[in-house]
A and B are shown apart, each in its own frame.
Chain A
Amino acid sequence: MWRIFLIVMLWAAPVFAVQPDEVLEDAALEERARALSASLRCPVCQGESIDDSNAPISRDLRIAVRERLVAGDTDAQVIDYIVARYGEFVLFDPPARGINLILWLAGPVMLLTAGGIAVIALRGSGRAEAVALTDADRARVDEILKS
C-alpha cells in the first residue's frame, strides 16, 4: 500500500527527465552537466540516474548540478556538493579508493589468477607431451625420414 502511495506521489505530476527549461545556454557546460547527472543516482527511484528519472527530486538535483557548474565548480566539486547532502548512495560510479578498491580490483586480480593457473597447467601438459618423444623415438623418426 505504501508503495502504491509512493508511486502516486512521485508521479502526481508526470514530467519527463531533462526539461527544456533546464538546459544551459553554454553547450560545453551543458555537456558536463549531462555527463555528471548520468553518473548520479536518483535518491528515491529504483536504480535510475537523475538524468533519466522523472521524479521531482531528480529535477531539483539536475538544477543544483547546473547551478554549481555555472558558479564555476569543477566536476569533482559538484560531486562532493551532492554527496555531502545525499550521501555516497547517489554515486553510480563508486570512487576507486577505500573498500571500493576491492570492487575495482576484483576483475583484474581474478583475470591474472585464472590466467596464471591456466598457463601453469598448460606448461605442465605441454611438457608431458614433449617427454613422450624419447631419443629412441627420434632415432626411429630420423630413420623413416631418411629412407
Chain B
Amino acid sequence: MIVELGHFALVLALGVALVQTVLPMWGAHRGNAALMAVGDTAAVVQFLLLLTSFAALTYAFVLSDFSLALVVDNSHTDKPMIYKISGVWGNHEGSLLLWTSILALFGACASWFGDNLPKALRARVLSVQGSIGVAFLLFMLLTSNPFLRLESPPMNGTDLNPLLQDPGLAFHPPFLYLGYVGLSMSFSFAVAALIEGRVDAAWARWVRPWTLAAWVFLTIGIAMGSWWAYYELGWGGFWFWDPVENASLMPWLFAAALLHSAIVVEKRESLKAWTVLLAIMAFGFSLIGTFIVRSGVITSVHAFANDPERGVFILLILAVFLGGALVLYAARAGVMEGRGVFSMVSRESALVANNILLAVSALVVFIGTVWPLIAEVMWGRTLSVGAPFFNAAFSPFFVALAILLPVGAMMPWKRGDIGRTLRSLRWAMVLALAVGALVFAVQTGRSALGPVAAALAVWVVLGAVADLWLRTGRGSIGGRLARLGRLPRADWGKATAHAGMGVTIFAVAAITTWVAEDIRVVQIGGSFEMGRYTVTLDAVNELREANYLTTKATMSVTAGGREVAVLYPEKRFYPVAQMPTTEAAIDLGVFRDLYLVIGDKQDNGGWAVRSYIKPFANWIWGGCLLMALGGLLSLTDRRYRLAAGARKVALQPAE
C-alpha cells in the first residue's frame, strides 16, 4: 500500500511539474501575478510529493519488501540497516529518484528563499527548474520505474554489490547529486536571464551562492569517492580517470570557473554573456555526466544497470536542454553588453585566464573521455584513453593555474601593475623557490614532479596568506592581527579555498612521486622491513561474519622497538553476490599512511603481503576539505546574509 502511494506520488509529481513549467512562464510573459505565484506553490508541492515517493521507497528497502523488483535486486535481509538504506540510491532507479527529489528540493528552495527576487525572474527560474523535473520524471516513469512489483516475490534478495557496502561509497552519491543538481539552479537562472534579456549585479548575487553551494557539495562528494577508492580497492590509488570520475570532475571544473566569473559580474558588471554560457555549460556537463554513467556507451566500473534505451532518452534530454539553451544563448547573448571596462593587467583579466584554464581543462577531460567512442564510430578503431594521457594533458593546466593564482588573486580591479603585485608576494616567491630547492636536494635522483609541486604549493598557500595580510591595511602588527579577525568571511573563504588547492596539488604530487611499495611472501610469525618500520605477520584467521566470509590477518608494526600499530587487513567473500573484496588496513598518519594488504596463501604456507608507505596521503582530502570549507565561508559572507535579513524585514506585515 505504501509502495503504491509512493508510485502515485511520483506520477502526481509529473503533473505538478508540468503545471510548474507552463503556468509561471506564461504568467511572466503576460505579467499576470496570480499565474506567476502558481510556480511557488507547484515547486513546494512537487518537492513534497517526491519526498513522499522517496520515503516510500526507503520504507520498502528498510522492511525488505521483496515484492519490489528493485529491492530484490539490491538488498538482502542479512545486510546491515545502514546499507539497506543506502541501497535505496545504490542502483539506477533509486539514484534517479534521489536525483529528481534533490532537483525538486532546489526548486522549492528558490521559492522559499527567493522573496527578494524580481517576481518575473523567480517565475521563469521556477518554470525552467520545473521543465527539468518533467524531463527526468518522464525518464523515470517510462524507462526506470523504481516501484515495479513482482508477481511472485522471492524469499530473499540478491544483495547490494559488496563494493557499495562501505560508508565512503554509501554516502558519496547524495553529495555528488546535491552538486550536479545544484548546478541546475545556475542553469535555470541563466535561461531565465536569457529569456528576460537582462543580467545585472543582482542576478550574479543570486547565482553565485547556488553555484558555490553546488560546488561545495561536488567537492565533498568527489573527495569522498576518491577516499573510498583509496582504502577499498586495495592498492591505494585515489584517482583513476575512470569515465564516471571524469563525469564528476567536468562539472566541478565548470562550476569553479562559473563561481569565479560570477564575481566579475557581481562586482564589475562585466563578462555577463560569458558567465551565462558557463552556467549553461556547468549543468550541461552534469547532464553529459549522467549520460556517460547511465547509458553504458563508455564502460566503467561504476556503470551499473545501463542499457541503450535509457541512453537514448538521456541523450534526448541532453539535446533538448543543452541544445535549447545554447540556441537561446546564440540568439540573445548579444543583448547583454558588459558595462565595466578593464585593462589587460587587472583582476578581471586574471579571472578570465582562470576561466579559460578551467574550461579548457574540462574540455580536455571531456575529449579524453569520449575519444574511444569517437574513434570507434568514425574510424572503427577500438582504442583506450587512460591515466597516462590525462596526467600528461590535464596536469599542465593546474600547474599554470597554481602559478597565476596568487598574482591574480591580489591584482586590483580594473587596472593593475604586475610589478607591484609581485613585490607584495616576493617573500612567498623566495620561500617557494627555497622549499622547491630543498625538496630537490633531499630526494636525490627522483622525478622533478615532487620539488615543482612543493614549490607551487608553498607559493599558493603563502600567496593566500599574503593576500589576507595585505587586506588588513597598514599599521602596527597588533592592529593588523585584530583586523584580520574582522575581515569579511568572503576574504577568509577565498584564502582558505585557494590554500586548499595548494595543499591538494602538493599531496597528489607527493603520493605519486614518493610512494614506497613492497610485495612479498611472509610466513606466519615472520617479519620484514618497510622503510623505518618492521612489519610482523602475527596470525591469519578465517572468520564468518553476518553477510560475508573473511580471511583476517593480524599484523603488528614497530619502529625502533616501539609498537606503532596493530593492523588487520582482510580479504572478504560475499557469498550472495559471489564477490570477493579486499579490505586494506591503514595506519593513518599526518605525514604518511602505512597501507597493508593481505593476499593469497602460497604453496609453501606463507601469505602474499603487499605494503605501501603513502606519504602525505591525507593531505589530498584535507586540501579538498579546505576548499569546501572556503566555499562555506564565502557562502556565509555578510552580503548574502544581509540579503537574507532584508528578506525577513520585507516579510514583516505593513502596519
Residues of A within 8 A of B (CB): 4, 7-8, 11, 14-21, 23, 38-39, 41, 46-49, 52, 87-94, 99-100, 103-104, 106-107, 110-111, 114-115, 118-119, 122-123, 125-126, 128-129
CB-CB under 8 A from B610, the residues of chain A are 16-18
* Nearest opposing residue in chain A for B598, CB measure: A16
The reply to whether A93 and B243 form a contact with Cβ atoms under 8 Å apart is no
Would you list 15 pairs from A and B whose C-beta atoms are within 8 A, ordered by A residue?
A11-B578, A11-B579, A11-B580, A14-B573, A19-B600, A23-B519, A47-B242, A90-B384, A91-B383, A92-B385, A93-B389, A106-B364, A114-B356, A114-B359, A122-B342
B382 close to chain A: CB less than 8 A: yes
B344:A94 contact, CB within 8 angstroms: no
CB pair A106 B363 closer than 8 Å? yes
- Does B315 have its Cβ within 8 Å of any Cβ on chain A? no
Chain A residues contacting B375 (CB-CB under 8 Å) are 99
Measured between alpha carbons, how far is A108 from B603 in the docked complex, in Å?
53
Closest Cβ of chain A: how far from B203's Cβ, in Å? Answer: 21
| Cα A89 to Cα B386 with chains together (Å) | 11
Considering residues B356, B571, B573, which has the most beta carbons from chain A within 10 angstroms of its beta carbon?
Answer: B356
Q: Are B571 and A87 in contact (CB under 8 A)?
A: no
Q: Which residues of B contact A125 (CB under 8 A)?
A: 341-342
Query: Interface size of B by Cβ–Cβ distance < 8 Å?
Result: 58
Q: How far is the CB of B407 from chain A (nearest CB, A)?
A: 16
Give chain B interface residues in 235-251, CB to chain A under 8 Å. 235, 237, 240, 242-243
Kindly provide the distance from the CB of A93 to the nearest chain B CB, expressed in whole angstroms.
3
How many Å lie between the Cα of A106 and that of B362 in the bound state?
12
Question: Which residue, of A4, A11, A16, A104, has the highest number of chain B Cβ atoms within 10 A?
Answer: A16
Whether B360 contacts A114 by the Cβ 8 Å rule is yes
Q: Which residues of A contact B349 (CB under 8 A)?
A: 118, 122
A46 pairs with B384, CB closer than 8 A: no
Answer whether residue B393 sits at the interface, using C-beta atoms and an 8 A cutoff.
yes
CB pair B237–A94 under 8 Å, yes or no, is no
Q: Does B597 contact A (CB under 8 A)?
A: yes
Question: Which A residues are CB-close (under 8 A) to B386?
Answer: 39, 41, 47, 49, 92-93
Given contacts A14-B571, A93-B388, A125-B341, contact A87 B608 (CB under 8 A): no
Q: Say yes or no for B371: interface residue by CB 8 A criterion.
A: yes
Task: Tell which of B357, B361, B384 has the most Cβ of chain A within 10 Å.
Answer: B384
Contacts of B597 in A (CB 8 A): 16
> Contact between B580 and A47 (Cβ–Cβ < 8 Å)?
no
Q: Are A46 and B344 in contact (CB under 8 A)?
A: no
In the bound assembly, the distance between CA atoms of A106 and B365 in angstroms comes to 10
B343 touches A126 (CB 8 A): yes
Q: What is the CB-to-nearest-CB distance from A125 to chain B, in angstroms, rounded to a whole number?
A: 5
Distance in angstroms between the alpha carbons of A7 and B159 in the assembled complex? 15
B519 and A106 contact, CB distance less than 8 A: no
The answer to the question of B116 belonging to the interface, with a C-beta cut-off of 8 Å to chain A, is: no
Contacts of A103 in B (CB 8 A): 367-368, 371, 385, 389
CB nearest to A103 among chain B residues = B371
* A89 nearest in chain B by CB position: B382
Q: Complex Cα distance A118/B349, Å?
A: 9
With A17-B235, A93-B388 as given contacts, are A118 and B579 in contact (CB-CB < 8 Å)? no
A39 to B349, alpha carbons, bound, how many Å? 39
Question: Could you say which residues of chain B place their CB within 8 Å of the CB of A100?
Answer: 383
Give the distance in Å from the alpha carbon of A124 to the alpha carbon of B519 in the complex: 61
B367 surroundings in chain A (CB, below 8 A): 103, 106-107
10 tightest A-B CB contacts, nearest first: A92-B386, A93-B388, A14-B580, A107-B364, A129-B341, A114-B356, A16-B599, A20-B521, A89-B382, A125-B341
**Pairwise interchain contact B383-A47, C-beta atoms closer than 8 A:** no
Asked whether B300 is an interface residue with its Cβ less than 8 Å from the other chain, the reply is yes
Are A16 and B582 neighbours in the complex by a CB distance under 8 Å?
yes
A132: nearest chain-B partner, CB-CB: B341
**Contact status A47-B299, CB under 8 Å:** yes
Output the least CB separation between A56 and chain B (Å).
13
- CB–CB A94/B389 < 8 A: yes
Q: With A39-B388, A89-B382, A111-B360 in contact, do A122 and B352 touch (Cβ < 8 Å)?
A: yes
| CB of B41 closer than 8 Å to a CB of A | no
Q: With the chains together, A38 CA to B237 CA distance in Å?
A: 12
Q: Is B638 an interface residue (CB 8 A)?
A: no
Q: Roughly how many angstroms separate A123 CA and B388 CA in the complex, as a whole number? A: 38
**Chain A minimum-CB-distance residue to B396:** A107
Contact indicator B578/A129 (Cβ below 8 Å): no
Minimum distance in angstroms from B89 CB to a CB of chain A: 21
Give the distance in Å from the alpha carbon of A92 to the alpha carbon of B243 in the complex: 13
Sample of 15 further A-B pairs with CB below 8 A, known A47-B240, A123-B344: A8-B578, A41-B384, A92-B386, A92-B388, A92-B389, A103-B371, A106-B364, A107-B360, A107-B364, A107-B393, A107-B397, A114-B360, A118-B349, A125-B342, A126-B341
B29 at the interface (CB under 8 A from A): no
In the bound assembly, the distance between CA atoms of A8 and B573 in angstroms comes to 12
Known: A106-B367, A129-B343. A88 touches B382 (CB 8 A): yes
Which of B235, B363, B520, B600 interacts with A14 by CB under 8 Å? B600
Contact check, A7 vs B578: say whether CB atoms are below 8 A apart.
yes
A95: min CB distance to chain B, Å? 10
> Distance (Å) between the CB of A118 and the closest chain B CB?
5
Cα distance A89–B371 in the bound complex, in angstroms: 12
Q: Chain A residues near B303 (CB, 8 Å)?
A: 46
**Which residues of the other chain, A, contact B599 by a CB distance below 8 angstroms?**
15-16, 19-20
The reply on B416 being an interface residue by CB < 8 A is: no
A52 contacts B237, CB within 8 Å? yes
A residues less than 8 Å from B343 (CB atoms): 122, 126, 129
Q: CB distance A94 to B364 under 8 Å?
A: no
Max count, chain A CB within 10 A of own CB: residue among B243, B378, B600: B600
Cα separation A111 to B352 with both chains bound (whole Å): 12
Let me know if B385 and A99 touch, CB within 8 A.
no
A4 to B161: give the CA distance in the assembly, Å: 11
Does the CB pair B301–A89 fall under 8 Å?
no
Q: Nearest A residue to B343 by beta-carbon distance?
A: A126
CA distance in complex: A133, B602 (Å): 83
Complex contact B344–A122 (CB within 8 A): yes
* Closest beta carbon of chain A to B649's beta carbon, Å: 39
What's the Cα separation between A115 and B363 when bound, in Å? Answer: 15
Check if B300 sits within 8 Å of A47, measured CB to CB: yes
Q: Quick one: given A14-B580, A115-B356, are A87 and B382 in contact (CB under 8 Å)?
A: yes
Instruction: Report if B81 contacts A (CB, 8 A).
Output: no
Q: When the two chains form their complex, are residues B360 and A46 in contact, meaning their CB atoms are under 8 A apart? A: no
B519 touches A20 (CB 8 A): yes
Out of B300, B344, B378, B579, which one reaches A126, CB within 8 Å? B344
Complex CA–CA separation, A119 to B356 (angstroms): 12
Q: Kindly list chain B residues whose C-beta atoms are within 8 Å of the C-beta of A110.
A: 360, 363-364
Output the least CB separation between B552 and chain A (Å): 15
Q: What is the chain B residue whose CB lies nearest that of A126? A: B343
A89 touches B383 (CB 8 A): yes
Q: Are A91 and B384 in contact (CB under 8 A)?
A: yes
> A14-B573, A99-B379, A104-B393 known; A47 and B301 CB under 8 Å?
yes
